[in-house]
Structure 1
Amino acid sequence: MTGTGGHPGASGRPAAQKRPAWVVGGAIIVSFVALLWLVEITDALLGHQLDDNGIRPLETDGLSGILFAPLLHSNWEHLIANTGPALVLGFLMTLAGLSRFLLATAIIWIGGGLGTWLIGNVGAPTYHGVVLETNHIGASGLIFGWLTFLIVFGFFTRNLWEIVVGVVVLFVYGSILLGVLPGTFGVSWQGHLSGAAAGLLAAYLLSGPERKTRALRRPVRPPSLNT
Structure 2
Amino acid sequence: MEREFKYTNAVIALPLFFVLSLWIVYWVEIRFHYNFATNGILPRTFSGLQGVLFSPFIHSDLGHLYNNSVPLLILLAALQFFYPKQSFAVIVYGILLTGIFTWLIGRTSYHIGASGLIYVLVGFVFLKGIITKYFRLVALSLTVVILYGGMVWYIFPKVDEAISWEGHLAGLLSGFIFAIFFKTPEYKKVIKYDWEKKDFDASEDKFMQRFDENGNFVNLPEEVIEEEQPAHFTSNILINYEIIADKKNESKPES
Matched, 1:87 2:73: yes
Report the count of equivalent residues: 183
Instruction: For residue 47 of structure 1, report the CA deviation from its aligned partner.
Output: 2.6
Q: 1:196 aligns with which of 161, 172, 175?
A: 172
Instruction: For residue 104 of structure 1, report the CA deviation from its aligned partner.
Output: 1.1
Alignment deviations for residues 49-84 of structure 1 (CA, whole Å, 9 cap, x no partner): 222100000001111110000011011110011111
Instruction: For residue 160 of structure 1, report the CA deviation from its aligned partner.
Output: 1.5
Matched, 1:43 2:29: yes
Instruction: For residue 195 of structure 1, report the CA deviation from its aligned partner.
Output: 0.4
Aligned to 1:63: 49
**C-alpha RMSD over aligned residues:** 1.9
Instruction: For residue 192 of structure 1, report the CA deviation from its aligned partner.
Output: 0.3
The letter of the residue matching 2:164 is: S
Aligned runs of 1:107-146 on 2, under 5 Å?
Answer: 107-121=93-107, 133-146=108-121
Instruction: For residue 36 of structure 1, report the CA deviation from its aligned partner.
Output: 0.5
Instruction: For residue 210 of structure 1, report the CA deviation from its aligned partner.
Output: 4.1
Would you say the 8 A contact 1:36–1:71 is kept in 2? yes
Would you say the 8 A contact 1:43–1:51 is kept in 2? no
Flag structure 2 segments of 5+ consecutive residues without an equivalent: 1-5, 190-255
Aligned to 1:6: none
Aligned runs of 1:158-197 on 2, under 5 Å?
Answer: 158-182=133-157, 183-197=159-173
The letter of the residue matching 1:85 is: P
3-state SS, counterpart of residue 110 of structure 2: coil
Flag structure 1 segments of 5+ consecutive residues without an equivalent: 1-19, 122-132, 215-227
TM-score in terms of structure 2 length: 0.68
Aligned to 2:14: 28
Task: Give the % identical residues.
Answer: 30
Q: In structure 1, what is the Cα distance between the partners aligned to 2:132 and 2:182?
A: 9
Structure with larger Rg:
2
Instruction: For residue 107 of structure 1, report the CA deviation from its aligned partner.
Output: 2.3
- Which one has the bigger helix percentage? 1
The letter of the residue matching 1:70 is: P
Q: In structure 2, what is the Cα distance between the partners aligned to 1:197 and 1:97?
A: 19
Instruction: For residue 25 of structure 1, report the CA deviation from its aligned partner.
Output: 1.8
3-state SS, counterpart of residue 95 of structure 1: helix
Q: In structure 2, what is the Cα distance between the partners aligned to 1:63 and 1:57?
A: 8
Alignment deviations for residues 91-110 of structure 1 (CA, whole Å, 9 cap, x no partner): 11112232201111122111
Distance 1:179 1:22, change over 3 A: farther
